[in-house]
């Protein structure tokens, strides 16, 4: 994993002879632990922990543990896919249960034409969305997340409109999907919650992968953000919603976007709401 030579024994040699850039000696001097540090060693990405060994509050040594980051990201990506799939199934199950009750009621009332029209409308709407996702968003993690949010919007009595001109086919392999889904998912959740609280009707999402950036634009009908809060909306704890424990989602989004070398902006939308735009570079630094 560390790319060390197996020709010579390593035990007993100074750590900096084996790993010249090791930070273990710094921990020995400072006594301060380091957790989950991202390190690139001979082309491999590692997650490293370095902990001081204490005896009677005196630092007597240091232990370092490490694991491949790619393996962690693979596991995290699989868990994200499973979670998105479960959320999508839950939302679909709830929505279709309501629709089936409605169709059954229409049939019992003898309103067969209305029942057929409702069935056709449901089938047509989902087929159009699935066709759009297949063609414009071939990545299964992102498209699965969007399908789940579409069904969640239906549960809330909203319409999630995905711009038919959207295109997101050029997702780089190096872009962590779980972080991308977290960014888009949090923004959509915020937009839907704001729209519901202001008796709005729809949330609009548009995507573009033309040029050097991936662009996601989300617009709600949530009444907008006051100028007093607009400049601080990404700070932890700052929110337009009442209640405790708020102001976390946008702060998390801002951190993730910055970590990926991107930017996020907020401005008034066209439908008496807010528009959030995320720019993520295709080539990560």
Residue 220: the pLDDT is 92
Residue pLDDT, tens place only, 196-205: 988 889 999 9
C-alpha–C-alpha distance, residues 81 and 55, integer Å: 45
Q: Which CATH number fits domain 72-281: 3.40.50.800, 1.10.3210.10, 1.10.10.10, 3.30.565.10?
A: 3.30.565.10
In this structure, is the dihedral angle defined by the CA atoms of residues 218, 219, 223 and 227, taken in order, positive or negative?
positive
Determine how β-strand 213-219 pairs with β-strand 263-268: unpaired
Residue scoring higher pLDDT (217 or 74) = 217
Instruction: Please state the rounded mean pLDDT for residues 15-32.
Output: 86
Residue 244: is its pLDDT beyond 50?
no
**Where along the chain do its domains lie?**
15-69, 72-281
Per-residue pLDDT tens digits for 101-113: 777 887 888 888 8
Secondary structure (H, E, C), 213-250 = EEEEEEECCCCCCCHHHHCCCCCCCCCCCCCCCCCCHH
Burial 207-220 (b: 16+ CB within 10 A, else e): bbbeeeebbbbbbb
Higher-scoring residue by pLDDT: 20, 77: 20
Report the percentage of the chain scoring pLDDT > 90. Answer: 18
- What is the pTM assigned to this prediction? 0.59
- The yes-or-no verdict on residue 254 having pLDDT over 60 is yes
Residue 176 DSSP symbol: -
């Amino acid at each position: 994993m560390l790319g060390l030579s197996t020709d010579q024994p390593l035990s007993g040699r100074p750590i900096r002879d084996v790993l010249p850039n090791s930070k273990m000696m710094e921990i020995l001097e400072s006594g301060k632990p380091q957790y989950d540090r991202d390190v690139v060693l001979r082309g491999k990405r590692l997650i490293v922990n370095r902990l001081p060994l204490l005896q009677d509050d005196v630092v007597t040594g240091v232990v370092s543990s490490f694991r491949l980051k790619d393996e962690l990201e693979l596991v995290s990506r699989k868990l994200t896919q499973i979670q998105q799939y479960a959320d999508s199934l839950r939302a679909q199950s709830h929505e279709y249960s309501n629709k089936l009750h409605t169709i059954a009621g229409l049939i019992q009332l003898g309103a067969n034409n209305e029942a057929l029209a409702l069935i056709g409308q449901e089938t047509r709407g989902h087929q159009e969305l699935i066709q759009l996702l297949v063609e414009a968003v071939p990545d299964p993690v992102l498209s699965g997340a969007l399908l789940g949010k579409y069904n969640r919007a239906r549960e809330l009595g909203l319409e999630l409109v995905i711009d038919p001109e959207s295109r997101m086919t050029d997702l780089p392999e190096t872009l962590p999907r779980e972080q991308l889904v977290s960014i888009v998912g949090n923004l959509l959740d915020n937009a839907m919650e704001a729209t519901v609280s202001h008796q709005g009707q729809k949330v609009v999402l548009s995507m573009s992968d033309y040029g050097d950036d991936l662009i996601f634009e989300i617009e709600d009908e949530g009444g907008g953000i006051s100028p007093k809060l607009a400049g601080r909306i990404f700070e932890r704890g700052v929110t337009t919603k009442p209640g405790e424990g708020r102001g976390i989602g946008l702060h998390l989004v801002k951190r993730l976007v910055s970590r990926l070398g991107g930017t996020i902006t907020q401005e008034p939308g066209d439908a008496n709401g807010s528009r959030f735009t995320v720019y993520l570079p295709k080539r990560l630094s």
